[in-house]
């Protein structure tokens, strides 16, 4: 049975760990609030952009664009796929990283001819250790998701898509469904279906609109900004989920530390009381022996 010195040392160690986990909880909370504010500040622009794309299709539904499936063509595309996997730079976030990686492994199993584009050191290290080739790794993006980084990713993916190297592009990110739950999702980024920008019950626009130089050029130019906005939203959404998952993990660690400290304190008091009782017993026995000797 450990003595008071060992138990006291264990209690000090648990207390120091609790300070670290509590600090990580507070840091994650601050980052989460800041990321949500940044997303709310940029969301109106991309919602308006989405509305303008819908307006184009309501005006000229049969407009041809390489970023959309042809009208009435539901044939699955064959060839090389691209997959952007968004993970964190570090762990200590519950199952956040593993859920995203699991989605990526499922896509690789279904379509082996898939090139991986990885955001986050955790994902890069996971695939590298298992010998899974990575086409490109975006460093320092997971902990600092900005619009500039989203445009950088978008430019690389769109360039590969425009050159025909990638037939479809998927994005695996973690979607915060509510303040209490989040889920890893695999979403096809390109090409889009026209129904993605359609709303039930909408009627075609009867008033003429003029597109310069034409509807196709306007749509293709808008899609580049829309893809960047989609990726930025996915990066921010994943970042929020990461911080929320880390807050949950650190809160659980704090509660476990408090519970362990309570058990160790009780054990410490019992051992200390037992030592005191033993000392009193030894003193009493010694006094009786001296009295009997006299």
Lowest model confidence (mean pLDDT) among 19-28, 120-129, 240-249, 285-294: 285-294
Which residue carries 């964190």 as its tokens?
88
User: What is the model's pTM?
Assistant: 0.77
Distance CA(69)–CA(131), nearest Å, equals 34
DSSP 70: P
Instruction: Give tens-digit pLDDT for 143-169.
Output: 888 888 998 999 999 999 988 899 889
Burial label, 152 (beta-carbon count in 10 A; 0-12, 13-18, 19+): middle
Instruction: Give tens-digit pLDDT for 260-288.
Output: 888 888 888 888 887 778 778 777 777 77
Distance CA(247)–CA(284), nearest Å, equals 55
Q: Residue length, the chain?
A: 294
- Asked if pLDDT for residue 294 goes beyond 70, the answer is no
Closest C-alpha to 21, from 249, 277, 185, 284 = 249
Count the neighbouring beta carbons within 10 Å of the beta carbon of residue 117.
Answer: 22
Find the mean pLDDT for residues 229-239. 87
């Amino acid at each position: 049975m450990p003595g008071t010195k060992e138990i006291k040392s264990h209690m000090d160690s648990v207390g120091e760990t609790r300070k670290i986990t509590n600090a990580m909880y507070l840091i994650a909370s601050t980052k989460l609030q800041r990321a949500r504010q940044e997303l709310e500040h940029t969301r109106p622009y991309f919602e308006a952009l989405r509305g303008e794309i819908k307006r184009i299709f309501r005006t000229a539904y049969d407009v041809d664009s390489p970023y959309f499936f042809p009208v009435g063509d539901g044939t699955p595309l064959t060839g090389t796929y691209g997959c952007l996997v968004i993970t964190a730079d570090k762990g200590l976030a519950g199952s956040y990283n593993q859920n995203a990686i699991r989605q990526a492994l499922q896509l690789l199993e279904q379509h082996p001819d898939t090139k991986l584009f990885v955001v986050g050191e955790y994902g890069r290290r996971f695939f590298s250790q298992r010998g899974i080739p990575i086409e490109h790794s975006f460093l320092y993006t997971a902990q600092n998701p900005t619009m500039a980084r989203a445009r950088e990713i978008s430019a690389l993916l769109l360039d590969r898509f425009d050159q025909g190297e990638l037939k479809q592009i998927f994005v695996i990110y973690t979607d915060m469904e509510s303040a209490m739950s989040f889920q890893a999702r695999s979403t096809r980024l390109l090409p889009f279906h026209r129904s993605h920008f359609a709303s039930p019950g909408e009627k075609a626009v009867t008033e003429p609109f003029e597109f310069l130089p034409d509807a196709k050029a306007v749509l293709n130019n808008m899609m580049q900004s829309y893809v960047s906005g989609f990726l930025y939203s996915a990066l921010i959404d994943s970042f929020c989920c990461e911080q929320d998952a880390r807050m949950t993990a650190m809160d659980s660690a704090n509660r476990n530390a408090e519970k362990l400290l309570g058990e160790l304190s009780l054990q410490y008091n019992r051992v200390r009381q037992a030592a005191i009782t033993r000392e009193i017993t030894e003193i009493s026995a010694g006094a009786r022996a001296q009295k009997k000797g006299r």
